[in-house]
Amino acid sequence: MNNLGSGTVYTETVVWSPPQEYVNDVPYQLAIIELDGGRRITGRIDGDRAQIGDRVAFSDFRNNVPFFRKSQ
């Protein structure tokens, strides 16, 4: 899988009422990331919570889901 590089949080939420598949993950942060190339992708934020406008970097794919971390 590609490294998606860095991007900016376009929007985000923290999910408390999950679908059956993710009942063990709550609460988790879901976000739409605007990648530096301009494309938007929906993924998870790992670690510190991020807000709209925050810079994030791609971390890894888990079960085909892209995870990002807030850039320091």
Partner 1 sequence: MRQVAVVGIGKTAFGAFPDRDLRSLAVEAGQKALENAHAQPSQVEAFHLGNFAGPSFVGQNHLAPYVASAMGIIGTPATRFEAACASSGAAFFHAVSAVAAGLYDVILVTGVEKMTSQSTPKVTEILAGAGDLCGEVRAGATFPALFAMIARRHMYQYGTTREQLAAVAVKNHQNGAKNPLAHMRKIITMEQALNGKPIAEPLTVYDCSLISDGAAAVLLAPLERAAEFTDKPVRVLGIAQTSDYVALDEKDDITTFRAVKTSAEKAYKMAGVKPSDIQFAEVHDCFTIAEIIAIEDLGFVTKGEGGPYSLAGRTCLQGELPVNTSGGLKAKGHPVGATGVGQIGDVVQQIRGEAGERQVQRNSLGLAQNLGGSGATSVVTILGAA
Helix or strand or coil: residue 64?
Answer: coil
CB of 54 to partner 1, least distance (A): 12
Q: Which of 56, 60, 30, 63 is nearest to 44 (CA)?
A: 30
Residues 34-53 close enough to bind partner 1 by CB under 8 A: 40-44, 52-53
In 4-54, the DSSP E strands lie at 6-15, 28-35, 40-46
Written as six digits, the tokens of 24 are 């063990």
Among 1, 7, 8, 11, binds partner 1 (CB under 8 A): 11
Among 6, 8, 30, 69, binds partner 1 (CB under 8 A): 30
| Residues near partner 1, by CB under 8 A | 10-23, 25, 28, 30-32, 40-44, 52-53, 63-66
